[in-house]
Amino acid sequence: MKRIFLFIITLLPVIAFAQELKSFEIKSKVGNLTTPSRAYLIYQLGANRVIDSTFIVNGSFSFKGKILNPTAAVLVIDKFGFGLNTLDSSSDNLTFYIDKGAFEINSNDSLSKAQITGSKINDDNKKLLAQLKPLIEKAKRLKAEQDAASPAQQNTAEFQNGLQAKHKELQIEQNATLKMFILANPDSYLSLLALYSVAGPSPDPKEIDPLYDALSPDLKSTETAKVFKKSLDALRNTAIGVTAPDFTQNDVNGVAVTLSSFRGKYVLLDFWASWCGPCHQESPNVVKAYNKYKDKNFTIVGVSLDRPNGKNDWLAAIKNDGLNWTQVSDLKFWNNQAARLYSVTSIPANFLIDPNGKIIARDLRGYELENKLEEVLGKLQ
């Protein structure tokens, strides 16, 4: 499950504000290892990845450093001193959080069994992971099911839609667990990280506002929370229930097309690109929806985030995927004017707009797109 909470810190944006660096110290004792054994500490400091190392003497070692905010880290043991580039995921390691101040990591034999003491965020993380454990096991079983399927099975729309439905169910369960954690732990920095996970790349302000409001004043005062709030506020212009922002871009023939010219129809505003693998995987579902409802007051407007030199790739993808509806682009990649207007930060992304120009749904994929269109158009003759 891509968004499982263990690595949610990697979803956080790089905070560009000037912030005060905070000191940390880690003291550790792991068995009786000694030189040439080394310990490596890997974590993020702003936009930079920090890799620190130290020798282990009679099982003991320590690290000191600076951080901006509590941050995920990995501690790895190099038993034979061969170097970090010789290690892999099978090496003795521990994923945890670094916070300001001093804390300890100790074990009688291996890092993977270590106990962390003196760190509130790691105490909170232990509690949260216990709550998420059943979902992590479900995610493992789902991955095994996917791997067991033949390549031919995996490439069918039926298999992909079924897999997507199961992932969606798992995501809903995960979000419910994270929401309960946030409400029960309003002063934990981990709750802020959990909020990022629940929100995802396209949060619904109506869903997220109560969770953000529940955070403590101290947590809201952090730069991480301020950046989150700013991003959330930007999404209010494209939330469900508001009028879809209007824009004009050229189609494949260079003719200007304005979104509002489709008023009176249901419109799926679909953001994609020729270089986007998941977009191509979703194409059969979108084509199926278009062919089923194109004569029932429904159409699609595709907006491509192709690069300035990517027009040929864009046109080829339209032909190869059978995207036979209005296609526009300014060929400005992620700076596409419409994508910025709709705060699109990942693709595929879409917005379903009703005949009055109101956004009534967003990010519909696979069976979700089919079900929603059946709801609003299925009974139309």
Residue type, 138: K
Question: Residue 241, SS3?
Answer: coil
Question: Do both 372 and 273 map to the same domain?
Answer: yes
Cα–Cα distance for residue pair 185/68, rounded to 1 Å: 22
Residue 153 inside a domain? The answer is: yes
Of 326, 315, 341, the C-alpha closest to 268 is: 326
Residue 37, number of CB atoms within 10 A of its CB = 19
Q: Which CATH number does the domain housing residue 65 bear?
A: 2.60.40.1120
Whether residue 179 is found in the same domain as residue 283: no
Interatomic CA distance for residues 273 and 313, integer angstroms: 9
198 and 255 together in one domain: no
Q: What was the pLDDT predicted at 10?
A: 42
Residues 293 and 226 in one domain: no
Query: Would you say residue 125 lies in a domain?
Result: yes
Q: Are residues 96 and 134 in the same domain?
A: no
The answer to whether residue 331 is domain-embedded is: yes
* Residue ranges of the chain whose pLDDT lies below 50: 1-18, 381
DSSP letters for 264-293 = TSEEEEEEE-TT-HHHHHHHHHHHHHHHHH
pLDDT of res. 380: 54
Which residue among 117, 142, 160 closes a domain?
Answer: 117
Q: Which helix (H) or strand (E) segment is 98 a member of?
A: strand 93-98
Q: Is residue 138 part of a domain?
A: yes
- Could you tell me where the DSSP H helices lie in the chain? 120-148, 151-154, 157-184, 189-199, 205-214, 217-220, 223-234, 277-293, 311-321, 337-341, 367-377
What is the pTM assigned to this prediction?
0.72
The answer to whether residues 170 and 214 belong to one domain is yes
Residue 280: which of 327, 223, 321, 319 has the closest Cα? 321
Q: Retrieve residue 319's tokens.
A: 């032909």
Per-residue model confidence as pLDDT tens digits over 197-242: 998 877 888 899 999 999 999 999 988 899 899 888 888 889 899 9
Domain boundary among 202, 220, 238: 238
Same domain for 255 and 372?
Answer: yes
Q: Is the preceding peptide bond at 186 cis, omega within 30 degrees of 0?
A: no
pLDDT of residue 188: 95
- Provide the pLDDT for residue 379: 62
Do 252 and 373 lie in one domain? The reply is: yes
Phi then psi for residue 352, to 5 deg, are -95, 125
In-domain check, residue 243: no
Q: What angle do CA 154, 155, 158 make, to 5 degrees?
A: 80
In a shared domain, residues 261 and 297: yes
3-state secondary structure 28-90: EEECCCCCCCEEEEEEEECCEEEEEEEECECCEEEEEEEECCCEEEEEEEECCCCCHHHCCCC
Token pair recorded at residue 60:
């003991």
| Domain of 339, in residue numbers | 248-377
Helix or strand holding residue 302 (H, E): strand 298-304
Res 157: pLDDT: 77
Q: Cα(263)–Cα(135) distance, rounded to whole angstroms? A: 43
CATH number, domain of 288, equals: 3.40.30.10
Statement to judge: residues 112 and 125 lie in one domain: no
Residue 24 belongs to some domain of the structure: yes
- Total domains in the chain come to 3
User: What pLDDT is stored for residue 46 in this prediction?
Assistant: 81
Q: Does one domain contain both 109 and 126? A: no
Q: Specify whether 288 is located in the same domain as 232.
A: no
Boundary of a domain, candidates 87, 117, 147: 117
Q: For 319, list phi and psi in degrees, rounded to 5.
A: -70, -45
Evaluate whether residue 20 is within a structural domain: yes
Considering the domain boundaries, does residue 333 fall inside one? yes
**Cβ–Cβ under 8 Å, residues 174 and 132:** yes
Q: Would you state the pLDDT for residue 318?
A: 98
